[in-house]
Structure 1
Amino acid sequence: MKKITMLVYLLGASALVSQSAMASGLKVRGGATNNDYSTDFSPAASTGNPYAKSTFSGTAFGATWLIDDSMYIDYAMSSGSGTRDSKLTNGTTFSTNLTRTDNAIVFGNTSVGTSGTATNVYFGWKTGETKMDAPSAAIVLNPTSRNFSTSGFIFGGGVGIPAAGGSLGLSLGMGLMSGKYDTVSTTTTVKNAADMALGFSLGIGYSYPFTPNFGIAADYKYNSYNYVFDSGLTTEWSLNEKLSTTGVSLWAKF
């Protein structure tokens, strides 16, 4: 049975509503991230792998083309890898490798009031992919790797408030996402498609300009969403994925 599920994810608001983005030109950014990632399956018997978690470092890069004083196009990319700690239904625990990649492109419009407060609206496209390596044959009888990918439309708005010489950014949005979960073994690949997920986004970030053309930004991102899968081979099952990211980056405007 197809269902609409709820998605909660976070966008870095500081890059979208920072006061430093209120003129035409190109703005680029790059930095480091620290990430906490987990997946939780229900019912656990559908996959034999009810829970897995990982903490890993990563990098984030982006570019904003400021078309004029209000319109912009923004591209953001982040990636990271680390150790994935898993637990099977029989209580067995093991560690494998995990990699995560996210991409997003948005089109937006920003306006600045007389008080210096900036408001922003945007829409765009977002993708995410998590690759989880297979455990050794000594741990499970048929080792499998798992790939989980999502994609869909995002839209929303935000506000940038002058604070301590910089800008504090907050955002609220929605997304309409789809998901695919592939289990790959040496003999076969089982592919599962998730229902569309209607979700909401929340975000917070701070941007500080050292000069009009160079500065630093920090943000916190939290992602939590639940997808329902109907494989046709087992009963309906769901995957709850959570990703929280703390990031610091430098930006420059040309």
Structure 2
Amino acid sequence: MKKLLLISGVCAAAVFASQAAQAEVKIRAGAASSTYKLGGDYTAAKSDYTPVSVGLTFAADNGMYVDLAYSDGTGKHDGWAIASAPTTICGGTNCGNVSSREEDFKRTDVALIVGASRLNPDNGIAGTFYVGLKAGNTTLGAKNTGLPWTEETFDTAGLVFGGGMSFPIASGRAGSVGVNAGLGLMGAKWKDNTGFDIKAKTAVGFSFGANYTYPITSNFGVTVDYKGNAYSYEFDNSGTPFKVNETISALGATLYAKF
């Protein structure tokens, strides 16, 4: 799914740029301080990590744009630090006295977004609407738990849509602040490296964010932003349902260049 989105994004951007009379290209790279949490009927897992992100945006003079984003980060998680994990996650048998305070963690996200932006020339306020595809992969290590498996993955993918507003400060000379919110229709798959593999029902979740952008020059600038996502997935493991809540928050900074 991630490779397909990346390839589709590059192709869509190329077609989009070739059709636009005056296409602006923006590249960006940054890092964030992120917190990833799993909850619900699963033993609570948390990881604080620092993902690195890159992005590419093609914007036409009519306000339409295509955006491709990718981020990746590693760290540690505490998902097996509590004894007596739920039987639903242990394949129908009691895990027993499980305790492992630090296990490997990895998170990858990719998104392909198509949107439209409209600027009010009188006050400089801009409104944006977007729709697109998003996929995420979480890898949770379990090497020190004494369990039959040593690694679990939690994969999500689906449709996202939403909108936002941007407000200039001092007519844009001091940058701008923006807010955004969206909804997502996401599917999920939970599996481990011993053959456990189960899909969730489609979940409805939400995202929100706020940002400040300062143009250092007309072509270069910096953005500081906060992002949050929350989804709740329902699984049915051979007639034994369980729920997994996923939340992600990130405070980051990004440098961008426009051409």
- TM-score higher than 0.5: yes
* 1:206 maps to 2:212: yes
* 1:252 maps to 2:240: no
- In the TM superposition, 1:9-158 aligns within 5 A as 24-42=23-41, 44=42, 50-86=43-79, 87=81, 88-89=83-84, 90=97, 92-113=99-120, 114-136=122-144, 139-158=145-164
* 1:184 maps to 2:214: no
Structure with the largest fraction of helix: 2
Measured against aligned partners, the alpha-carbon deviations of 1:24-69 in whole angstroms (never above 9, x if no partner) come to: 3100100111111121241x5xxxxx12211111201101101224
Measured against aligned partners, the alpha-carbon deviations of 1:125-182 in whole angstroms (never above 9, x if no partner) come to: 000110112223xx32423311001011111111000125111111122111100010
Contact kept, 8 Å, 1:95 with 1:135, in 2: the verdict is no
Unaligned runs of 5+ in 2: 1-21, 85-96
* 1:167 maps to 2:173: no
Q: Distance in 2 between matches of 1:141 and 1:148?
A: 18
Q: Distance in 1 between matches of 2:202 and 2:44?
A: 23
Unaligned runs of 5+ in 1: 1-22, 45-49
Measured against aligned partners, the alpha-carbon deviations of 1:96-147 in whole angstroms (never above 9, x if no partner) come to: 11100001111111111110000011111000110112223xx324233110
Contact kept, 8 Å, 2:26 with 2:256, in 1: the verdict is yes
Q: Distance in 1 between matches of 2:230 and 2:130?
A: 21
Contact kept, 8 Å, 1:191 with 1:231, in 2: the verdict is no
Aligned residue among 182, 206, 226 for 1:220: 226
RMSD: 1.6
Q: Distance in 1 between matches of 2:34 and 2:206?
A: 20
**TM-score under structure 1 normalisation?**
0.82
Q: Distance in 2 between matches of 1:156 and 1:218?
A: 20
Alignment: residue pair count = 220
Q: Distance in 2 between matches of 1:106 and 1:25?
A: 16
**TM-score under structure 2 normalisation?**
0.81
Work out the percentage of aligned pairs sharing the same amino acid: 37
Q: Distance in 1 between matches of 2:147 and 2:181?
A: 45
**Deviating 4+ runs (over 3 angstroms):** none
Measured against aligned partners, the alpha-carbon deviations of 1:157-211 in whole angstroms (never above 9, x if no partner) come to: 11000125111111122111100010223xxx11110010122221111111011
